[in-house]
A and B are shown apart, each in its own frame.
Chain A
Amino acid sequence: MSDLRIRLVQSLGLILAIGLFLLFYLIYNFNHPRGFSSQILIQNANESFVLVMVGMAQTVPALVGGLDLSVGAVMTMINTLASYLLVGWPLQILGGIVICLATAALAGFVNGCLVVYGRIQPIIVTLATGAVYMGIALFLRPTPGGKVDGDFSWAMTNDLFELAATYGFAGDGDAAWFRPFAWLPLPLILMVLVVLLVWLPFKNSVTGRGVYAVGSAEGAAYMSGVRVDRCKIAAFTMAGLFAGFAGLYLTLQTSSGNADVPQAGAYTLNSIAAVVIGGTSLMGGSGGAVGSLFGALVIRSISFNFRIFDVDPLLQPLIEGIVLLGAVSIGAARIFRVRNKLELFG
């Protein structure tokens, strides 16, 4: 088999997620009166960013064969924390961002340590710590509120043109060299940056490789000299960090902090759906965060379509569930091609 073919076969899950996303998103745009406009793109990217981050967060523990039920809670905790910190001078805001991300990573690190040194199932550890993080969020923001720097929030949730206009570079966004990409939405750029600067370096680090190895066969990884404990802790720490990105962006989007318990739960469950649609095996060892990114986009584009087709809100959860089930089933369709029933259990 040629290299290309092997690569294609091995990323079938990712390709499928991209295909589903294109399908749903093109249907939406073709039927939207202002379809394919940059305005719609900005709006959709904004609505998707948080779920994309939470989905990527869930991916890393899933790769080591565990689930992290605290990603929504960490996101909410960081949201309430950021609603105090994202004000003041640019340097102050930057410091606030660093504190938020460090706190998020710490929360994930604690999860990882409890899993590794407490020898407790990840799903139980994170169920408990998730409640703790939610408690901290409620302590920080008993009622919704807070304040976020208006310029920063505006710039981060719009396109490059508004960023330039807000902070006064590239001729306030009017420079000729700037115009070809001035329409690009910031959340989309941030997604790509997170993939390029956080996920891919992690995946290609020795620890990241170890995460896949541990999820694939923990005993074999140990015998091969992989630092199993370190890899597991790193996986949960990465989950915390990605959830931190989600929390920060949620704050910028809503300009406030809100310890919303049902919202945290919904994000956690949707993150698992995003992981599965994105082609990552919940058994661990194969898949990746880019798949989950598209998995999250699939989930979001399904709900975008509800607006266009004027679906009764009472019916939306039912239809969303059926469409999700269908989407996941396509990934499972390979079983019809399996000629050796034993392969179904591998």
Chain B
Amino acid sequence: MGGSFLELAGISKRYGGVRALEDVSFACEQSSIHAVLGENGAGKSTLIKIVAGVVRPDTGTMTLEGQPVRFDGPIAANKAGIVCIFQELSLMPDLSVADNICIADPPRRFGLIDQRAQRRRAEELLARVGCADVNPLQRVRNLPLSRRQMVEIAKALGQNPKLLILDEATSALTGADVEKVYRILEQLRRDGLAILYISHRMHEIEQLADTWSVFRNGQHIETFARGARSADEVVQLMIGREITQVFPPKPPKASDSRPMLEVSGLSWVDRLAHISFAVHAGEIVGLGGLDGQGQRELLLALFGVLRGVEGSIRVAGQPVAVTGPSGAKAKGVDMALIPEDRKTEGLMLPMSIGDNLGMAALGSLTRGIFVDESRERAAIEAMVEKLKIKIGAVDDPVATLSGGNQQKVVIGKWLMTEPRIILLNDPTRGIDVGTKQELYQLLRDLAAAGAAILFYTTDYDELIGCCDRVLILYDGAIVTTLEGDDLTETRIVAASLNLAAGEPGATDRQAGGH
């Protein structure tokens, strides 16, 4: 493979006793979008960290444009033209958008940062990624997640990369933004960049990447051109076993179940407007629509996190007034919320897996005023078993787990409270195929056991495959409810944009399959 733009040979990396990469040889070319696929823990993250200079390999060599290179930090890799957009956002929330975009190499006058030039550069780059509506003076902290990710992409482009690495860079983006990113990446490919693209969204990769590489268990399994293998074969390569169906079958609609959660006339400042719906026991109701149309706020309002919410909420027929998460999980309400950002709202990262799992249910695991440790331990181990969480020991810090297993801990924490109502806020973001599948099955099982589930996701496939009914939000109000045969991608896209159904241009994909 002589003459490749970037070449890795015999790269191995171990963390303690855990093998992250084993004798990996890998190459990528210019003018190519190269997808790297694999489950969480397959070694994708370690691979790109090595390329980006964040981690040094134990053995092996790396060659860039024919020259052997060794990076002792991300700065060195940046200088060589390697720029990363990481899954964990690399923005500084207290700095302005312009400061963030230009942080690596701000324009200078007389040795000091030239604010005007910096602003112009930020405006240019924002316009290039189609985010001209973002004011460069605004602090990143005040931007919604999807805008932040676009800022991140603008920031990466500003460094004039030769090799651009995107690690789940589109996972928080809305449909329209994803399209913009596709166009930018296509343009960059034509400009001769090498692009490494990591995503768990199969149809993104199908649309974008011309070369695919599959990793499994720290090994490079295969590299092939787009279309050389069917989607089924690719998934099989990734997980090493055959999977038949991604989503579990939907049960027939139960006609006589009572509503578990009834919401009527829910409003909150200018973000939620007169929202009324009901979720029955045994039902999975999806929340859809473009990102930022009030879905997150709706879940937070139900969970008592927002102040000044108008309207009424009934649980199993009884009116309730939830004033916060501790009230929401109390007997009589029995609500659980799987939050959007597991790193900040879901987990206490330095604490152990066991402490995290036990946290929400501690109140029911006590003897007198003390925590009953043996009961707590037993409950935790039962939950680890039930969710098949892959851990070393329950006393390890939760931060040592992979993304998928961390998310299982978040879910397990709430299942220990035995909730009747489960609210999920985009729980599959950045999670591998295998774990996603387990999660879909789990949701079905919970519903079958009598839970009412409200499921917000940005992935249309999940809305179609996993939900019995889908509420589409637009501008803080429910514009459409889709169910049964109406639950198609065309309808969802049309409703999300608040158009009449059946607009041309969108492709129709039915529920089920993958």
**Set A216, A227, A339: member contacting B94, Cβ < 8 A:** A216
Q: Give Cα A202 to B276, complex, Å.
A: 55
Which residue of the partner chain B has the closest CB to A1? B135
Q: Is A341 an interface residue (CB 8 A)?
A: yes
- A212 at interface, CB cutoff 8 A: yes
Encode contact with A along B99-116: 1 for CB under 8 Å, 0 otherwise.
Answer: 110011110100111010
Tell whether B137 is near chain A: CB-to-CB under 8 Å. Answer: yes
Asked if A205 meets B103 with Cβ closer than 8 Å, knowing A220-B91, A224-B90, the reply is no
**Contact in complex: B307, A341 (CB < 8 Å):** yes
Pair B106/A206 contact, Cβ less than 8 Å: yes
Complex CA distance for A58 and B370, rounded to whole angstroms? 42
Q: From residue A200, how far is it (CB to closest CB) to chain B in Å?
A: 9
Instruction: Indicate whether A220 sits within 8 Å of B113 (C-beta atoms), given known contacts A209-B103, A341-B324.
Output: no
State how many angstroms separate the Cβ of B430 from the closest Cβ of chain A. 17
| Complexed CA–CA distance, A339 and B270 (Å) | 11
A residues 259-300 in Cβ contact with B at 8 Å: 281, 284-286
Q: Knowing A216-B95, A227-B75 touch, does A342 contact B108 (C-beta < 8 A)? A: no
B306 contacts A285, C-beta separation under 8 Å: no
A169: min CB distance to chain B, Å: 29
Contacts A6-B138, A221-B103, A346-B141 given: A206-B108 contact, CB under 8 Å? yes
Kindly state whether residue B86 has any CB partner on chain A within 8 Å: yes
- Which of B54, B100, B138 meets A1, CB within 8 Å? B138
In the assembly, what is the distance between CA of A221 and CA of B307, in Å?
Answer: 34
Interface pair B137/A6, CB less than 8 Å apart = yes
Across the interface, do B90 and A213 meet the contact criterion of CB distance under 8 Å? no
Q: Is B84 an interface residue (CB 8 A)?
A: yes
* Count of chain B residues with a beta carbon within 8 Å of a chain A beta carbon: 41
Q: How far is the CA of A223 from the CA of B73 in the complex (A)?
A: 9
Chain A residues with Cβ under 8 A from B135's Cβ? 1, 3, 6
Report B-chain residues with C-beta under 8 Å of the C-beta of A216.
92-95
A: contact size bracket: 35 or more
**Interface residues in B129-162 (C-beta closer than 8 Å to A):** 135, 137-139, 141, 155
CB distance from A231 to the nearest CB of B (A): 11
What residues on A are CB-neighbors of B54 within 8 Å?
Answer: 223
Contact of B78 among A7, A209, A225, A281 (CB under 8 A): A225
Contacts of A339 in B (CB 8 A): 268-269, 306-308
Q: Once the chains are docked, how many angstroms separate the CA of A10 from the CA of B98? A: 14
Q: Within 8 Å CB of B113, what residues of A?
A: 204-206, 209
Residues of chain A lying within 8 A (CB to CB) of residue B89:
220
The answer to whether B306 touches A341, judged by C-beta atoms less than 8 angstroms apart, is yes
Whole-angstrom CA separation of A219 from B345 in the bound complex: 18
Contact of A217 among B93, B108, B137 (CB under 8 A): B93
Question: Which of A10, A205, A215 is in CB contact (< 8 Å) with B112?
Answer: A205
Closest CB in chain A relative to B338 CB, distance in Å? 14
Are the CB atoms of A285 and B103 closer together than 8 Å? no
Which residues of A sit under 8 angstroms from B78, Cβ to Cβ?
A: 225
Chain A CB count within 10 A is highest, among B75, B88, B115, for B75
Known: A209-B113, A223-B86, A339-B308. A3 touches B300 (CB 8 A): no
* A36 at the binding interface (Cβ < 8 Å): no
Chain A residue at minimum C-beta to C-beta distance from B109: A204
**Is B103 a contact of A226 with CB atoms below 8 Å?**
yes
Interface residues of A in 192-214 (CB under 8 A from B): 201, 204-206, 209-210, 212-213
Find the B residue at minimum CB distance from A283.
B94
- In the complex, the answer to whether B94 meets A215 with C-beta atoms within 8 Å is yes
A167 interface contact, C-beta 8 A: no
Contacts of B259 in A (CB 8 A): none
Nearest CB of chain A from residue B337's CB, rounded to whole Å = 11
Q: Please give, as numbers and ranges, the residues of chain A lying within 8 Å of B139 by CB-CB distance.
A: 10
The answer to whether A285 touches B137 (Cβ under 8 A) is no
A30 part of interface (Cβ distance < 8 Å): no
Residue of chain B at shortest CB distance from A63: B94
CB-CB under 8 A from A3, the residues of chain B are 135, 137
A residues near B141, Cβ cutoff 8 Å: 346
Name the interface residues of A204-255: CB closer than 8 Å to any CB of B.
204-206, 209-210, 212-213, 215-217, 219-227
The 3 A-B residue pairs whose C-beta atoms are closest, nearest first, are A285-B94, A216-B94, A216-B92
A-B contact pairs, 15 of them (CB 8 A): A6-B135, A6-B137, A7-B137, A204-B113, A209-B95, A212-B99, A217-B92, A217-B94, A223-B54, A223-B90, A224-B100, A225-B78, A285-B94, A340-B300, A342-B305
